Amino acid sequence: MTLFLQIAFDGILNGMLYALVALGLTLIWGVMDVINFAHGEFLMIAMYVSYWLGFLMNIDPLVSWVASGVFVFLLAFVTYKLMVSHLVGKPALSALLATFGLSMFLKNLCLNRFSPNFKLLPVTVLSGKTIPVGSLILSLPQFVIAVFSLAVIFIVYHFIASTRMGWAIQATAMDKEAAELMGIDTEKIYGLVFGLGGACVGIAGGLLPTYMPVHPEVGSLFGLIAFICVAMGGFGSITGSLFASLLVGLVEAFAGFYIAPIFKYVAVFALYLVIVMLKPKGLFGW
């Protein structure tokens, strides 16, 4: 029983991390109907920022997540201005392919500059620490990320639901032209949303080096899982993607333990297929 609970616990913590990564993608997809294929690479860049700050200047990831978040916000904003703004409203495929090109560019740029070697910060405040909870063991770095994830989701949710800017974002998502007629600068909204999506994944990436090594391929799998979470949750639904992320985390943990480690992602992808077969617009889609 303890083992079962422990696995469930780890699955939920991992699911919270996926939720934070998927949150940015949900925002972008929901508001702009664009799939950002470079999302996983944004995560990787954030991890490198945090890693280099820790390695060169001895700043702990607990502090440098701010820098990662801001950096990826700017990166995403520039990406929007230079690339994505030309592609909004075009066939869905074009934005996906252009961002795929970007992901290839970023991944290989990092490969070229930082080498393919795994890099892990040797000493951070959190690394290796655990908290015993009854008979379970809680890994502190993962717990901290889960807390951050909840906090960021809460803030973003309230930002969208109850600020003027949030209402403007909702209006733009519902009907771009009508929003423009009401005097909303949709161009600004899109830029902001893309940046915000980047900032969410930037925060996740900033905290990850406390327990996960950085390498150029690290983002690919996270990106794929984030697509799955977002699509499983349903078009642009923040609650949906949170729920789906937790489900993915749990399925991954249980399949990895009870079937075989190599099958954990098979189970996750199969779960996605089953769910969209039953509900073609995802769990919370309409």
- Among 17, 19, 35, 208, which residue interacts with other proteins (rule: CB under 8 A)? 35
Closest CA to 152 of 221, 194, 199: 199
Q: Helices 39-57 and 92-114, interaxial angle, to 10°?
A: 30
Cβ nearer to other proteins, comparing 61 with 240:
240
**CA distance to 98, 180, 192, per residue, from 95 (Å):** 5, 22, 17
* Closest by CA position to 128, among listed 210, 10, 198: 210
For the bound state, the minimum distance from the C-beta of residue 75 to other proteins, rounded and expressed in Å, comes to 15
For residues 152 and 231, which CB has a smaller minimum distance to other proteins in the complex? 231
> If you ran DSSP here, which 8-state letter would residue 33 be given?
-
Residue 8's contacts (CB-CB under 8 Å, 6 or more residues apart) are: 250, 253, 254
CA R_g for the chain: 19
The pair of structure tokens assigned to 58 is 């001895």
CB of 22 to other proteins, least distance (A): 12
Binding mask 68-107 vs other proteins (x if CB under 8 A, - otherwise)?
A: ---------------x--xx--xxxxx-xxx-xxxxxxxx
Which lies closer to other proteins via its Cβ, residue 212 or residue 230? 230
Q: How far is the CB of 285 from other proteins (least distance, A)?
A: 9
In whole angstroms, the minimum distance from the beta carbon of 161 to other proteins comes to 24
Q: Determine, following the binding rule CB under 8 A, whether residue 112 of this chain makes contact with other proteins.
A: yes
66 binds other proteins, rule: CB under 8 A: no
* Total site size for other proteins, rule CB under 8 A: 45
Nearer to other proteins, 112 or 163 (CB): 112
**Nearest approach, Cβ of residue 223 and other proteins (Å):** 10
Of 201, 228, 271, nearest to 41 (Cα)?
A: 201
CB 238 within 8 A of CB 156: yes
Q: For other proteins, give the closer residue by CB, 94 or 239.
A: 94
**What's the CA gap between 97 and 99, in Å, rounded?**
5
Q: Applying CB under 8 A, does 184 fall inside the site for other proteins? A: no
Other CB atoms within a 10 A radius of the CB of residue 170 amount to 15
Q: Binders of other proteins among 224-263, rule CB under 8 A?
A: 224, 227-228, 231, 260, 262-263
Please tell me whether residue 270 binds other proteins under the rule CB under 8 A.
yes
The gap from C-alpha 142 to its chain's centroid, in whole angstroms, comes to 15
Q: Nearest distance from residue 110's CB to other proteins, in Å?
A: 9
Nearer to other proteins, 53 or 173 (CB): 173
Q: Token pair for residue 216? A: 């150029």
CA–CA dist 41, 100 (Å, integer): 10
- Chain positions contacting other proteins, by CB under 8 A: 29, 35, 83, 86-87, 90-94, 96-98, 100-109, 111-112, 115-116, 224, 227-228, 231, 260, 262-263, 265-266, 269-270, 272-273, 276-277, 280-282
